[in-house]
Amino acid sequence: MSKRRVSAGICEVDCVDGPRAAAARAALPPEEESRDTADAIKVLAHAGRLRVLKALEGHELCVCDLAHVLGGSMSGTSAQLKELRRLGAVAFRTQGKLAYYRIADPFWLELADSVSEKLNGAVSS
């Protein structure tokens, strides 16, 4: 049984390497920073929001057009945009009664694309 535990990545004994553990602890970011990072990643961890980012790549679209492109409702699209706006990934401008959205910070789209490429085995050129 112990070979199975080790091969599964589970230590068989409780043996702490003090200096190594102390160095690893010292390198950790503050908990609040880790929470903020996790919250940002949670915003992107939604297929609808990822699709919004891709739809806006190279385009400025009003909410009506974006909802049509994505095949969703205006209220649902607005909810996704609100989260992306809170993250700083998208921004909008108004023109009359219309709200036009665009990518505000390409970092978030690049991050999503990078993860997608990694998962789908795309080879970068």
The per-residue pLDDT for range 20-69, each reduced to its tens digit, is 989 999 999 999 999 999 999 999 999 999 999 999 999 999 999 999 99
The per-residue pLDDT for range 59-112, each reduced to its tens digit, is 999 999 999 999 999 999 999 999 999 999 999 999 999 999 999 999 999 999
Spatial contact of 122 and 114, defined as CB atoms under 8 Å apart: no
Q: What are 107-114's contacts with CB under 8 Å, separation 24+?
A: 108/44, 108/53, 108/84, 109/53, 109/54, 109/56, 109/57, 111/44, 112/44, 112/50, 112/53, 112/54
Q: Give the confidence band of 121 by pLDDT, cuts at 50, 70, 90.
A: confident
CATH architecture entry for 61-120? Orthogonal Bundle (1.10)
